[in-house]
Amino acid sequence: MNNAPCDSGNNPYDVVPYIDRAYSFSHPRQLEALATLFGMEPPPITQCRVLELGCAGGGNLIPQAAELPESTFVGVDASKRQIEDAQRDANALGLTNIELRHADIREIDETWGQFDYIISHGVLSWVPPDVQDKLFEVSSRNLAPNGVAFISYNTYPGWHLGAAVRDLMRYHVAQFPDPHKQIEQAKAVLEFLAELSGEKMLWGQLLHAELEKLRKVNNDNYMFHEHLEANNHPMYFYEFLQRAEAHGLQYLADADFSSMLLCHLPEKARQVFAGLPQEKLEQYLDFAGGRRFRRTLLCHKEVAISRQVKPDRLTRLHFALAGPIDVAGVDIRNDAPATFVRGKGRLQTVNRLVKAAMIVLKEVFPRYVSFLQLYMTALARIQQARPAVAGDPRYGTGELAQALLSAFSVELVELCVHPPQVASQPGERPATTPLVRFQAQHERTVTNLRHHPVQLNPLARRLVLRLDGRHDRRDLIECVRECLASGEMTIKHQGEEVSNPDDGALHHILDQTLGYLSSASLLKG
């Protein structure tokens, strides 16, 4: 995001724009859900005001405005070029609920009004101290009484190591005035010194780790603004909180809920840290894990927060799997243990109700289900499988709520108050959003209905352009034929390219691609 004064006349973000995208962790939906979980009554996102500080080219804010037409959005950035790009896209989409301003954060005052959600991703660490102070001021003065502010920043102790690599890069590129040459030379010197240092010593390991990180990101513009900008000011978590508290704000949560919890630590560590205030606990966890980046949620200090998450709060929410899981072999007729796994997240249970609920979420994925609907459906399943569960305390709402909270804490499920309208099946005339179709015209990466960036292959991209709800499968088969004719994709059988596939093969490819688009949360429900 932009960190230079808008009147500088030589804004680095005008020369090397920030390649922004959708960040699900900063979406008002996620802020609303976490605030609700901790006992707040945040404004409903269906009718709210949102301010994004450092909105860049609108990659994060425009999809929010497109999804929530009854809410209003204001984006501010000091890069004239990026605001113009964002305004062009907003105009093309016909959005009337978004205002994009070319301005300095220091220009924001009370006349801008109050906002229910304030988002500042990738700004705080990359601006000078006076702008940092202003960012905290805006996050307090312009935040509605029950509002939530999101601020991300580089943090210590992890950035002590990252700063050494940044110093190396900046020292080397100082002799090259052209930003694009600086990017080229920064990568070259890091690769050269990483190879020279080897991996036996700590410094060599650090260089290789940073090099690997940049290769995974594969974004030169990100590297330029992260490592080569004049401003990069990490801070410890406790220092961040001190500055927030000085402006009448208090810590609400981390956007990564799992990072707040003791349950992921060994038993000995849980015993040592038990009883610590949440802020102190997380600072020690940062020290233990070498954390280098934080995404912090704040609210006004007058707001009552309850760290003890009660089951009744979860009954107000909607749930969806965070990604596909395997439920093969799960038996809801008995108390045999079942383990549900996604990535590093694991949920083990013998409870028939919980097992049935996870199966239901698997069946409707990626759609969200309300707690009550999920509970009633799962309860009906186990009653049908083996009657006489009525009145059994093991199958009450509290048991399911606690299990879903555990699943959320290991990133098996996602939760929200106001769910996106996602389809679980393609349907006869599948449709995506105007935003996705617009994005697919210009690039391979689009924003899905859960506010995640998704990369499309050539066939998926062609299909998306026609998914307006008016085209049936016969029309969509033509996309498959066109993609084959253009050479953008090929079909192989036993290692040999098939030049004239039959209708069965074409329909199989269409089914696969529509299935992918559905599981990627790109189809409207």
What ranges make up the beta strands (E) of 184-311? 249-254, 293-300
Flag whether pLDDT at 5 surpasses 50.
Answer: no
In this predicted structure, what is the pLDDT of residue 6? 43
Asked if the 12-154+234-300 domain carries CATH number 3.20.20.70, the reply is no
Distance CA 156, CA 176 (A): 30
User: Torsions phi, psi of 273, nearest 5?
Assistant: -90, -10
pLDDT over threshold 60, residue 484? yes
CB 497 within 8 A of CB 490: yes
Residue 264 has pLDDT above 60, yes or no: yes
3-state secondary structure of 330: coil
Q: Rounded to a whole number, what is the distance in angstroms from the first to the last CA of the chain?
A: 33
DSSP string, 386-451: S---TT-GGGSHHHHHHHHHHHHHTTSEEEESS---B-SS--SS-B--HHHHHHHHH-SEEE-TTS
pTM value?
A: 0.91
Mean pLDDT over the full length of the chain: 91
Q: Bigger pLDDT: 226 or 320?
A: 320
In Å, how far from its chain's centre is CA 258?
A: 14
Tokens linked to 109: 């005052």
What's the pLDDT at 488? 84
> Can you tell me the mean pLDDT for 218-245?
88
Q: What is the mean pLDDT of residues 171-198?
A: 87
Is the per-residue pLDDT at 4 higher than 50? no
Which residue did the predictor score with more confidence, 479 or 490?
479
pLDDT band at 266; cut points 50, 70, 90: confident
Q: Domains of the chain: which residue ranges? A: 12-154+234-300, 158-228, 311-416, 434-519
Nearest to 321 by CA among 404, 444, 207, 218: 404
Task: Identify which of 262-271, 278-287, 482-491 has the greatest average pLDDT.
Answer: 278-287
